Amino acid sequence: MIRLSDDFTLMQPFGGPMSHGFDASPARLAELSRSFRNGEAKLERVISYASDDLVVLAFVERQHGEVLGLPDQDWSLRVTQVYRRQGPHWQLVHRHADPLVRPIGLDQASALARGE
């Protein structure tokens, strides 16, 4: 339902390097659909910015479900998405999501920064 730009970048909620592009092959889409089960989500807009050819959305995806075989649990994410107008269409050019919806302490944040 969302058009992705050719230069799409993704900062996944599990960390790691930023990915470029998107593999929309049937095999990859089937793998993704098996990874997420029995959940539901609601979007909570935090703020948005718009110009003639660029839109930035910041929101919280309040969601739960079974992810990669784990039991149903809260998988809410803080998300930023950037859209760019390409001719008559809007395309998603960047998405950043992280699971830090609830505050964490300095010790936990520093452990994450160290990769622990």
CATH code of the domain containing 69: 3.10.450.50
CB burial of residue 66 (10 Å; 0-12, 13-18, 19+)? middle
Cα–Cα nearest to 65, from 100, 30, 41: 41
32 pLDDT higher than 90: no
Domain that holds residue 66: 4-113
Overall number of domains in the chain: 1
d(CA 37, CA 64): 9
Confidence of residue 46 (pLDDT cuts 50, 70, 90): very high
Question: Both ends of the chain: CA-CA distance in Å?
Answer: 36
Average pLDDT over residues 40-58: 97
Half-sphere CA count of 114, side-chain side, radius 13 A: 7
Amino acid 6: pLDDT: 93
Confidence of residue 62 (pLDDT cuts 50, 70, 90): very high
The single-letter code of the amino acid at 41 is A
Amino acid 90: pLDDT: 96
| pTM recorded for the entire structure | 0.88
Confidence of residue 109 (pLDDT cuts 50, 70, 90): very high
